[in-house]
Amino acid sequence: MAKRKRQGSPRAVIDVPPSDPPVRPGLLSPPRPVPRHIERPPYARTGDPGPSVSSLVRTPEELAAMRRAGRLAAEVLIVAGENLRVGMTTDEIDRIVHEATIERGGYPSPLGYRGYPKSVCTSVNEVICHGIPDSRPLADGDIVNIDVTLYIDGVHGDTSATFMLGDVDEHSQRLVAETRNALELGIAAVRPGAPVNVIGRAIESHARRHGLGVVREFIGHGIGTEFHSRLQIPHYHDRRATTRLEEGMTFTIEPMLTLGRPDVAMWDDEWTAVTLDGRRTAQFEHTLVVTPEGAEKLTVTADGTCAHELFTEPVRR
Ligand code: MF3
Ligand code: CO
Ligand code: CO
């Protein structure tokens, strides 16, 4: 057999310019209170989640609670999408998510997690993930990932979508659509008995076909009684990710794809992750449970829908 040249890290086929103007840090609003009657996750007091100790597989009771947490998280993400407007600040998204979460009896899982100061992550344009809501107004042409996690009855539901605002350039529209498709292909690869790396393999080969990069520094994770548990779900092909998928395992898949190179830089706030080359990036996330047939999405509404399906076109408000 002919020897193949060793492939280097993926490179964008089409040269797309950096997002302009770059996103800069804004000002944070004062902390938002959570009413006394809302049950807090164990880390809320100190910020420290401690070592992961939970099982990779859920009990039937935990799974029932996760369906509810997932449904409520899906509802909150839709509320955020319905309220998106050009000119609003990402801090206003935080207020909307905070209130919609509490209205449903949930706790906004990001708040106080390892010292995170807000109730949701809002990641604009070249921000890969963990953007902190602040005073920056959303501009016409922006893309913004809103990442909602809700805690109720002792378990978390975690879901995100990238929304488009107004006149979004063609490359960004393609990035957003193919990142959504990459998540669906990752989900479709799940079956009991397969190694977890089937997920990343499906996502990475899709990204390559479309000339998009895959971020390697942030991965999907086990979730349930803990926000982030031991189980790791890379979004690229990782030969070493050989853990077998088992019925009843719950985890997220949350690929971050890039128009340029997938290398990461961090802001001084130690949360905001941006692309090193300043080109745009998108992300979609679901919480899933492994079933006998494959995977079931937990972060969907009672009628099985979600923001991913409802907001495929740019928001024009
Ligand atoms: N929701 C993010 C995830 O998908 C985690 C956010 S942690 C925070 O895993 F502290 F930044 F909120
Ligand atoms: Co997650
Ligand atoms: Co998330």
Which pLDDT belongs to residue 119? 99
Give the nearest ligand 1 atom to 221 CA. Answer: 9
Percent of the chain at pLDDT above 90?
A: 95
Does 121 sit in the ligand 1 pocket, CB within 6 Å? Answer: yes
Question: Largest Cα–Cα distance in the chain?
Answer: 67
Is the pLDDT score of 243 beyond 60? Answer: yes
Residue ranges of domains in the chain, CATH in brackets = 3-7+56-310 (3.90.230.10)
Give the residue-averaged pLDDT of 304-315: 98
28 pLDDT exceeds 60? yes
Residue 246's pLDDT band (boundaries 50, 70, 90)?
very high
Question: Does the Cβ of 130 fall within 6 Å of ligand 1?
Answer: yes
| Confidence check: pLDDT of 5 > 50 | no
Contact 257, 175 (CB under 8 A): yes
Residue 23 gets the label, from left (phi > 0), alpha (psi -120 to 50) or beta, of beta
94 CB within 6 A, ligand 1: no
Per-residue confidence band for 2, with pLDDT thresholds at 50, 70 and 90: low
Query: What's the confidence (pLDDT) of residue 1?
Result: 45
Q: What is the mean pLDDT of residues 194-215?
A: 98
Using the mean position of ligand 1's atoms as its centre, give its distance from the Cα of residue 15 in Å: 31
168 Rama class: left (phi>0) / alpha (psi -120 to 50) / beta: beta
- Burial-class residue 310 by CB neighbours within 10 Å (0-12, 13-18, 19+): middle
What is the pLDDT confidence band of residue 123, given thresholds at 50, 70 and 90?
very high
- Closest CA to ligand 1's atom 7: 110
Arithmetic mean of pLDDT, 1-29: 75
Question: What pLDDT score was predicted for residue 14?
Answer: 65
Mean pLDDT of the region 304-309 = 98
Cα-flanking dihedrals φ and ψ of residue 150, to 5°?
Answer: -125, 135
Mean pLDDT for the stretch of residues 246-259: 98
Closest ligand to C-alpha of residue 44 is 1
Ligand 3: centre distance to CA 160 (Å): 6
Indicate the top mutation candidate among 107, 109, 283 to test ligand 1's pocket, ranked by most ligand atoms within 8 A of CB. 109
In the predicted structure, residue 158 carries a pLDDT above the cut 50: yes
The model's pLDDT over 29-50, given as tens digits with 9 standing for 90+, comes to: 999 999 999 999 999 999 999 9
How does the average pLDDT of the chain come out, rounded? 96
**Strand partners for 123:** 145
Report, as an integer, the average pLDDT of 187-202. 98
226 lines ligand 1 (CB under 6 A): no
Q: Which ranges of 146-235 would DSSP assign to H, the alpha helix? A: 170-188, 197-209
Enter the DSSP assignment of 225: S
Q: What is the pLDDT of residue 13?
A: 53
Amino acid identity of 298?
L
The pLDDT of residue 121 is 99
CA–centroid distance, residue 116 to ligand 1 (Å): 9
**What is the distance between the alpha carbons of residues 258 and 175, in angstroms, rounded to a whole number?**
7
Answer whether residue 155 shows pLDDT above 90. yes
Confidence of residue 4 (pLDDT cuts 50, 70, 90): very low
Q: Is any atom of ligand 1 closer than 6 Å to the C-beta of 227?
A: no
Mark residue 102 as left, alpha or beta (left: phi above 0; alpha: psi -120 to 50; beta: remaining). alpha
Q: What's the rounded mean pLDDT across residues 258-280?
A: 98
178 CB near ligand 1 (under 6 Å) = no
- Percentage of the chain with pLDDT > 70? 96
pLDDT at 290: 99
pLDDT value at position 285? 99
Mean pLDDT over 116-132 rounds to: 99
